[in-house]
């Protein structure tokens, strides 16, 4: 069967007012999804971007409040907050229940893994995207700073995209601008977008639900803060050497975010 083009079918009656939406962004309220939303807005314009946030039983509802604020902050008016009630009937983990945040000996994943979460989120986002006539779904997953989450890997995203195209006969494209970026590169990108302050102070990445700089102790805070420190060190070093022409060694350094003209980060390959 030929895959229909956007607008040919699958548009829910009465959804015509959303016909201009080009992309749906999965927005949790953390650093990755907030930067991802800003990038999508830069690409398509705020009126053509929709955001979707899931209440899946996470302990910290503050994430939803921050997601709403971020959508407003970036001018995104179409924001859907969806409750996924089934998770609490199916599984347990450190993000939904009061249990230690750790990686148990011999376990492949840390206790913060919510099994199949990105698969469920992307599928639901796809259902909504199709009803809006949109084909792009943007998500801030990354395998560069791999934390043991199997559904953050490129191999999973490729499989999920194929599954969703087959499941709904719609030309979905799952966009993952940070798949191969480190956290330091993400901070650098936020800096270039002019939203460093927003990402640093108006997001919730912390597993303990502490907004902004976070608790500083959980794995999510450590990863975020280590990346921020690395970014600041690189930026400071780049500032000090900016007056001198780069040496050959610097020209070929593995620091692409501060030689942006020669090696621009291309978030949408």
Chain residues binding Zn ion by CB under 5 A are: 206, 208, 214-215, 218, 221
Nearer to Zn ion, 159 or 215 (CB): 215
Nearer to Zn ion, 158 or 222 (CB): 222
Tell me the closest approach of the beta carbon of residue 124 to Zn ion, in angstroms: 27
Nearer to Zn ion, 38 or 221 (CB): 221
Nearer to Zn ion, 157 or 206 (CB): 206
Alpha-carbon gap, residue 146 to 129, rounded angstroms: 28
Single out the residue of 139, 119, 113 nearest to residue 58, CA to CA: 113
Tell me the closest approach of the beta carbon of residue 208 to Zn ion, in angstroms: 5
Tell me the closest approach of the beta carbon of residue 212 to Zn ion, in angstroms: 11
Alpha-carbon gap, residue 152 to 156, rounded angstroms: 7
Tell me the closest approach of the beta carbon of residue 117 to Zn ion, in angstroms: 19
Q: Are 113 and 93 in contact (CB under 8 A)?
A: yes
For the chain, the helix, strand and coil percentages under 3-state DSSP, each to the nearest 5 = 45, 10, 50
CB count within 10 Å of CB 69 equals: 16
């Amino acid at each position: 069967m030929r895959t229909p083009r956007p607008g040919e079918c699958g548009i829910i009656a009465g959804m015509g007012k959303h016909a201009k939406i080009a992309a749906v962004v999965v927005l949790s309220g953390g650093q990755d999804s907030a930067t991802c939303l800003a990038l999508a807005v830069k690409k398509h314009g705020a009126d053509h971007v929709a955001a979707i946030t899931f209440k899946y039983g996470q302990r910290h509802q503050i994430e939803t409040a921050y997601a709403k604020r971020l959508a407003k902050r970036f001018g995104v008016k179409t924001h859907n907050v969806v409750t996924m009630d089934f998770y609490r009937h199916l599984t347990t983990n450190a993000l939904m229940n009061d249990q230690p945040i750790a990686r148990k000996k011999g376990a492949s994943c840390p206790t913060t893994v919510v099994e199949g979460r990105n698969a469920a989120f992307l599928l639901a986002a796809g259902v909504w995207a199709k009803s809006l006539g949109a084909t792009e779904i943007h998500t801030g997953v990354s395998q560069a700073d791999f934390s043991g989450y199997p559904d953050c890997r490129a191999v999973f995203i490729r499989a999920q995209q194929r599954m969703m195209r087959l499941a709904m006969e719609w030309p979905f494209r799952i966009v993952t601008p940070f798949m191969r970026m480190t956290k330091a590169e993400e901070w650098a990108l936020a800096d270039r977008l002019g939203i460093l302050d927003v990402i640093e102070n108006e997001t919730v990445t912390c597993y303990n639900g502490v907004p902004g700089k976070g608790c500083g102790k959980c794995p999510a805070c450590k990863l975020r803060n280590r990346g921020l420190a690395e970014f600041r060190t690189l930026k400071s070093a780049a500032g000090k050497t900016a007056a001198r022409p780069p040496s050959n060694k610097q020209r070929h350094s593995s620091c692409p975010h501060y030689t942006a003209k020669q090696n621009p980060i291309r978030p949408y390959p």
